[in-house]
Amino acid sequence: MNSKNFFHRWKEGILSLSPEKQIKGKMIGLIGGIVGLTIAMVIMIYRKQWGFSIFVFFIIWIQFIGYISTRQQLIAMKEMMKGLGPQQQDMESPKVDNEIGNLR
């Protein structure tokens, strides 16, 4: 697999992600950022670099607020999908009937 083929397949995979999986990926990225920044802040405090550690603390805080917001988006999306489930089945049934041969 050459690099051109790899990036083409990667692009197709990214574009075909469902919104729920995109939000879950964003949450994982935010958690990784929070963990990495927390480790960096602990090291800076250990080395007594107070000024920059305060700056990093507020970046962690912004990341945490972003995580909470993204989590609420995921919960709202799941609730919306629960409500759309029966409606979506009603919309798909004529399509299935046509495939079987039962025309309405």
* Cβ count near 44 (within 10 Å): 18
Comparing C-alpha atoms, which of 40, 38, 18 is closest to residue 30? 38
Does 89 score more than 90 pLDDT? no
- Asked whether the predicted pLDDT for residue 70 surpasses 60, the reply is yes
Q: What percent of the chain has pLDDT over 70?
A: 81
The domain locations on the chain are 19-81
Distance CA 34, CA 58 (A): 11
> What pLDDT shows up at residue 19?
82
What's the pLDDT score for residue 63?
Answer: 95
Sequence-ordered list of residues with C-beta below 8 angstroms from that of 60, at least 6 positions apart, any chain: 34, 37, 38, 41
User: Per residue in 8-49, pLDDT tens?
Assistant: 888 888 778 888 888 888 999 999 999 999 999 999 989 888
φ and ψ at residue 66, rounded to 5 degrees: -65, -40
